[in-house]
Amino acid sequence: MADLFKEYENLLPRKILTEVKEYLPPKCSDAKLKKILVAVYKEYSDSRAQPGESVGLVTAESIGEPGTQMTLNTFHFAGVSELNVTTGLPRIIEILDGRKKITTTMMEVYLKKPYSTGKDIKKIAETIKETTLKEFVDEISINIANMQMVIILNKSKLKVALLTEDAVAKILDKGFKGFKFKIQKDQSLLVTPSSKDAALNEIYKLKEKVKDTYISGIKGITQVLPVKRGEEFLIVTAGSNIKELLKKDYVDSTRIFSNDIFEIQGLFGVEAARQAIINESMKVLDTQGINIDIRHIMLVSDAMTMSGKVMGINRYGIVKEKPSVLARASFETPIKHIINAALTGEVDYLNSVIENVMINQPVPVGTGLPGLITKTTKTKWKITKIWRFLGSPKIYKVEILIEIKKLIGSEKLIIGADRVLKYLKAGKIEKVILASNCNKDVFGEIEHFANFSEVKIEKLDIPNDELGTVCKKPFSVAVVGILKWLNTIQI
């Protein structure tokens, strides 16, 4: 059995092999196992994308079409009016846009035993909730005559939060300069100005400010809700602060989760953020009853995190990172991208799909992806002389054609009777090559000036249309000249 698994180690991913071992029926024979592995390998091969397939396009269609069926409402936790969680299309948009500030942050805080069984679950929930002074206050009164303020605290609420009146007084004393906070005999809190010149409106301002003063709990967690899932208790929170919660002994640090992807990236790195994108997207889609293959979501999360940090699918995110000017321009603000590229001299190598579609070229996907490669071998040209008798002997020299081919594209090769005559009159031509059907008048004129300059005339046994093909021109060429030197002055 071990040999069969070893045989498929390089053919199947380790995860699939582990799952096969896990779900294998007891006392499974080698023959049955072989059939199972063959079937698994066939299924795995069929599920793989073919080389050159447009997986990005398939992903966009697979997410976009079901996305039109998603709802726009938010999910509401029963029993806590403030605890809402954004779901549906707004949540998917938040994730894919890579927004740093999301509408409703939340955490799922798993606890260690014995707290995960329900022990002191309410007390723990109360201690992690961010609480301000107004939650512990029964009454605040101002004595105008004595310029004093009296705060009466709720003892039972302080006891639940494991706080004392002295601790509250110390917190307020640190937070507000210019006022003194003292505990009286009846355990009420007396507030007096440090200076005698304090105005009455300052005390009234203090009354409003003091209500929102942070007293206890973890900052950022505004609501808590103990929840039972199966046999385990956990705490669902509105607001997120993983860093502070990890310092608590009763928190299971291996399973704590937040829906704030950027907070996860800051604490655990980009790979954890990638997994968070997958988990959050699949959670939203599952709650909506939409079935999308997880590989599409994985491709999106890979695209969002491939640069080493989470980037949204927008013009400020992954679109900005595209190397192609035309691809960036096709998304949004095309004029801006094209002007910036022109100013910096940016080159577009047309390696992707969008830019090739824009300029009507075959796209590098599917059958357009592979290129043809041929092996080339160098062969020596055999120079031959072919004698043909058509009234007078004419020499067809292959070396002349080779010479023309070598000079194609250079300034040394002059094409056309008029241009050759200009340079010939100036004494700058080294050799004149004529087609077999060159005009008699043109031939006579060239021969006349060639005799003065002692220029050699070569008459080929090919017509002007063939000579035009040799010169790589779409028209017939009857006269070709070769200059004596490369750097010539135009006449």
- Say yes or no to pLDDT of 408 above 90: no
Query: Worst-scoring range by mean pLDDT, 78-92, 159-173, 209-223, 234-248?
Result: 78-92
What integer pLDDT is reported at residue 390 of this predicted model?
A: 34
What integer pLDDT is reported at residue 74 of this predicted model?
A: 60
Sheet with 413-415, edge to edge strand ranges: 413-415, 479-483, 429-434, 456-459
Rounded to an integer, the average pLDDT of 464-468 is 86
Rounded to an integer, the average pLDDT of 150-173 is 80
Pair (335, 348) in one structural domain: yes
Rounded to an integer, the average pLDDT of 140-159 is 79
What integer pLDDT is reported at residue 379 of this predicted model?
A: 54
Pair (345, 393) in one structural domain: no
- Residue 160 falls inside a structural domain: yes
Pair (392, 474) in one structural domain: yes
Pair (136, 99) in one structural domain: no
- Give the burial class of 216: count Cβ atoms within 10 A of its Cβ; 0-12 exposed, 13-18 middle, 19 or more buried: buried
Residue pair 298/275 in contact (Cβ under 8 Å)? The answer is no
For the chain, what is the mean pLDDT?
Answer: 83
Pair (212, 150) in one structural domain: yes
Pair (212, 300) in one structural domain: no
pTM, entire model: 0.65
Residues 6+ apart with CB under 8 A from 281: 92, 95, 96, 297, 300, 301
What integer pLDDT is reported at residue 304 of this predicted model?
A: 94
- Say yes or no to pLDDT of 452 above 70: yes
The number of folded domains in the chain is: 5
Rounded to an integer, the average pLDDT of 198-218 is 79
The residues pairing with 238 across neighbouring beta strands, listed in sequence order, are 106, 223
- CB neighbours (10 Å) of residue 148? 14
What integer pLDDT is reported at residue 73 of this predicted model?
A: 62
Own/partner pairs for 93-100, CB < 8 Å, 24+ apart?
A: 95/261, 95/277, 95/280, 95/281, 95/284, 96/281, 96/300, 96/304, 96/312, 96/313, 97/312, 97/313, 97/314, 97/317, 98/261, 98/304, 98/310, 98/311, 98/312, 98/313, 98/314, 98/317, 99/312, 100/262
Pair (397, 474) in one structural domain: yes
Pair (31, 56) in one structural domain: no
> What is the torsion angle, in degrees rounded to the nearest 10, for the CA atoms of residue 308, residue 310, residue 311 and residue 313?
120
Pair (93, 175) in one structural domain: no
Q: How do strand 137-143 and strand 479-483 relate by DSSP bridges?
A: unpaired
Residues 6+ apart with CB under 8 A from 259: 85, 102, 105, 106, 107, 240, 276, 280
Cα atoms found within 13 Å of the Cα of residue 192, Cβ hemisphere only: 9
- Residue 251 falls inside a structural domain: no
Task: Choose one of 200, 216, 232: the last residue of a domain.
Answer: 216
- By residue range, what is the domain housing residue 398? 385-483
Q: Cα separations (Å) of 491 from 420, 426, 439? A: 11, 8, 24
- Residue 364 falls inside a structural domain: yes
What integer pLDDT is reported at residue 80 of this predicted model?
A: 52
- Residue 184 falls inside a structural domain: yes
What integer pLDDT is reported at residue 66 of this predicted model?
A: 86
Pair (9, 79) in one structural domain: no
Residues 6+ apart with CB under 8 A from 438: 459, 464, 478, 479
Per-residue confidence band for 391, with pLDDT thresholds at 50, 70 and 90: very low
Per-residue confidence band for 396, with pLDDT thresholds at 50, 70 and 90: very low
Pair (303, 315) in one structural domain: yes
- Residue 173 falls inside a structural domain: yes
Q: For residue 454, what is the domain's CATH number?
A: 3.30.1330.30
Pair (391, 476) in one structural domain: yes
What integer pLDDT is reported at residue 209 of this predicted model?
A: 82
Task: Choose one of 216, 231, 247: the last residue of a domain.
Answer: 216
- Residue 242 falls inside a structural domain: no
Q: What is the pLDDT of residues 186-202, one digit of tens each?
A: 778 887 777 776 677 77
What integer pLDDT is reported at residue 386 of this predicted model?
A: 37
Per-residue confidence band for 297, with pLDDT thresholds at 50, 70 and 90: very high
- Say yes or no to pLDDT of 79 above 60: no
What integer pLDDT is reported at residue 274 of this predicted model?
A: 96
**Per the omega criterion (within 30 degrees of 0), is the bond before 323 cis?**
no
Higher-confidence residue: 2 or 50?
Answer: 50
Higher-confidence residue: 374 or 286?
Answer: 286
Per-residue DSSP letters for 208-238?
HHHHT-EEES-TT--EEEEEEETTEEEEEEE
Q: Percent of the chain having pLDDT more than 70?
A: 90
- Residue 479 falls inside a structural domain: yes
- Say yes or no to pLDDT of 279 above 90: yes
The residues pairing with 483 across neighbouring beta strands, listed in sequence order, are 429
Q: For residue 163, what is the domain's CATH number?
A: 3.90.76
- Say yes or no to pLDDT of 82 above 80: no
Q: Percent of the chain having pLDDT more than 90?
A: 18
Query: Worst-scoring range by mean pLDDT, 224-238, 381-395, 460-474?
Result: 381-395
What integer pLDDT is reported at residue 388 of this predicted model?
A: 37
- Residue 169 falls inside a structural domain: yes
